[in-house]
A and B are shown apart, each in its own frame.
Chain A
Amino acid sequence: MISEINERKVLWSGSSLLAMDVTGQAAKKEVSKIVNDEVSSIEIKVLLFARARELTGVPDLKLKMPSGSTTKKCMDELVIKYPKLEEVRSCVVLALNEEYTTDSAIVKHRDELAIIPPISGG
């Protein structure tokens, strides 16, 4: 009985300490994850024109991407978010900060990526 109680006490103490320790570790991990997220993800502005805008229903949006992402990865992400964009996926060219760009260009925080279907000015 006493020993049982004692055991339980010990167990209880043990487990609460364990819980605190686990929580402490969990809290630490949480903080470091937040820090890592802030450092390793960026946000860009995406502009959609003509058919691309019609397919998504929005003229622009904000896109959060892992740091170091290519414009191609951004486009892939857009197609996941807006599957209808698949219709123009192979037709569009991309512009980064008002200059035509390639699939392999790396986007930076606050860059402006434009989805440009075949143009028809004039």
Chain B
Amino acid sequence: MSSEENNLIEILEEGHKVDIAKYIDYVTAPQAGAIATFSGTTRDTFEGKTVMELRYEAYVPMATRYLSSICASARSNWDIHKIAVAHRLGPVLVGETSVFVAVSSVHRGDGLDACKFLIDELKASVPIWKKEVYANGEVWKENAEFLEKRLELAETRGSLVKKHVAGEHKRSCCGSKVRVQEDEDHTDIAGDNKE
């Protein structure tokens, strides 16, 4: 049995909510004494602004490919049994789950560490985007994990990429201005509004 058959990766179409029980069920096994999970949910505020919803889109084939690769990395680093990762597309309202990770393992240390790794790596490299929608504007978010990793991605391929993310700018980028409909004020947005 290949390890891929112990991974369940799902990018859920717009309107499909995360069925947490289904994924916990999937990773449950008699030999696993621990199930570690992570659920990312939409927060109601970001830097004082009221968030109405998050809207997600993805480069689905590449996202699935990279999620598989991240699962393989997790397996090579920790002793884990099954993995389930689900990510929603489309609007995700305040309080709803947009991303869910479940990992089963014999002992909890491996499962907890692998679970953290999976969500951290997802945020650093999987081509999924979210737009934060406020009452009077919206902005595309940018994960700090990705901005840090981008230099790495370029370096490992020996690139002479001149786009350089300086340490002090790693939390924002050119496209991260708040597009507010009523006024012309622009503020830089940093990080994401999840954790």
Contact = CB atoms under 8 A, between A and B. Distances in A.
Nearest to B58: A121
Contacts of A122: 40, 87, 98-99, 119, 122-123, 128, 143, 192, 194
Nearest to A122: B123
Given A93-B153, A102-B157, A114 B143 contact: no
Nearest to A95: B62
Interface in B134-156: 140-143, 146-147, 150, 153-154
A114 B66 CA distance: 15
A121 B147 contact: no
A91 B174 contact: yes
Interface residues of A, number: 25
B96 interface: no
Interface of B: 40, 56-59, 61-63, 65, 87, 98-99, 119, 122-123, 125-131, 140-143, 146-147, 150, 153-154, 157-161, 163, 173-176, 192, 194
A55 to B, nearest CB: 9
Contact of A50 (B57, B61, B146): B57
A118 B143 CA distance: 7
Interface of A: 47, 49-51, 87-88, 90-91, 93, 95, 98-104, 114, 116-122
B134 to A, nearest CB: 16
A88 B40 CA distance: 27
A48 B161 CA distance: 20
B146 A118 contact: yes
A51 B174 CA distance: 11
A87 to B, nearest CB: 6
Most buried by B among A50, A90, A98: A50
Which secondary structure dominates where chain A touches chain B? Answer: loop
Contacts of B146: 118-120
Most buried by B among A49, A87, A119: A119
A51 B119 contact: no
B69 to A, nearest CB: 10
Given A102-B159, A103-B160, A120-B143, 10 more contacts: A91-B163, A95-B59, A114-B62, A117-B175, A118-B150, A120-B140, A120-B141, A120-B146, A121-B63, A121-B87
Contacts of A98: 59, 61-62, 65
A118 B140 CA distance: 9
Nearest to B192: A120
B87 A102 contact: no
Contact of B99 (A104, A114, A121): A121
A111 to B, nearest CB: 13
A101 to B, nearest CB: 7
A87 B65 CA distance: 29
